[in-house]
Amino acid sequence: GVITTVRDAQRELARFRMGYEFGIEEMLTKIRILRSEFRQTHDHNPIEHVTSRLKSIDSILEKTTRYGCAADPETIRERILDIAGIRITCSFVSDAYWVADMLASQPDVEVVRRKDYIAEPKPNGYRSLHLIVRIPVFLSDRTEHVPVEVQIRTIAMDFWASVEHKLSYKYHGVLPEDLRTELLDAAVTGAELDARMGRLRAEVRDLGAEGATGTPPGTDT
């Protein structure tokens, strides 16, 4: 009856999400290893903060509508590449590129797409480095190659994006002209701050292991 159908659907959905969950796990492990290795062998921590999320069914369906594509599991698997998402926040722009290179160069990581919104910010001012990677997840009866979107950005970029996101939400995606101008201006300020911090970086490094180099509390992955 209906109950069985709903249960079947739930089971299928859980199975669908599982691969993406494991994809996130795999990527988080890679990031954690890079972080620990760095903590043990260097005087500087390139990664400040890591978060992850699994896209909700609603926003997956919203995206299929926006893309004008079918909403069956096959098509979704092929077209929606950001179901699994990881966001890495770094102190310095150079760290963001370093982290991206370290992940991209691992032999089991296939870079499907790379978008450098740091070198070329979006017209609204958004800056970040986006990678879509595909990594193997080994299950009992098969290997799935799972796409994961990795967004890498500085603290300044992250701050800007979170404020912009809240404003966009409040205004349902259509921001008044003055706010858009203000945000674009704030993005430029953010980029300037990143550039200044980049220049101060050598000084930070010189502080050595006991200086501004440890992991701040509460930023564990």
Which residues form the catalytic set? 149
Residue placing its CB nearer to ligand 0O2 in the complex, 48 or 82: 82
Report d(CA 1, CA 70) in Å as an integer. 27
Can you read off the two tokens belonging to residue 67? 């893309």
The footprint of ligand 0O2 on residues 48-67 (CB under 6 A) is: none
In whole angstroms, the minimum distance from the beta carbon of 63 to ligand 0O2 comes to: 6
Report d(CA 184, CA 188) in Å as an integer. 6
Determine, following the binding rule CB under 6 A, whether residue 82 of this chain makes contact with ligand 0O2.
Answer: yes
In whole angstroms, the minimum distance from the beta carbon of 210 to ligand 0O2 comes to: 36
The footprint of ligand 0O2 on residues 131-190 (CB under 6 A) is: 161, 164-165
Q: Token pair 């299928």 is at which residue?
A: 12
Handedness of CA 100, 110, 141, 86 (dihedral sign): positive
In whole angstroms, the minimum distance from the beta carbon of 176 to ligand 0O2 comes to: 16
In whole angstroms, the minimum distance from the beta carbon of 182 to ligand 0O2 comes to: 14
Report d(CA 190, CA 171) in Å as an integer. 23
The footprint of ligand 0O2 on residues 99-118 (CB under 6 A) is: 115
Determine, following the binding rule CB under 6 A, whether residue 121 of this chain makes contact with ligand 0O2.
Answer: no
- Give the angle 160-105-50 at the CA atoms, nearest 5°: 35
Q: Which residues of 157-194 are buried (b: 16+ CB within 10 A; e: fewer)?
A: bbebbeebeebeeeeeeebeeeebeebbebbeebbeeb
Residue placing its CB nearer to ligand 0O2 in the complex, 85 or 147: 85
Determine, following the binding rule CB under 6 A, whether residue 122 of this chain makes contact with ligand 0O2.
Answer: yes
Q: Using CB under 6 A, list all residues that contact ligand 0O2.
A: 82, 85, 115, 122, 124, 126, 130, 161, 164-165
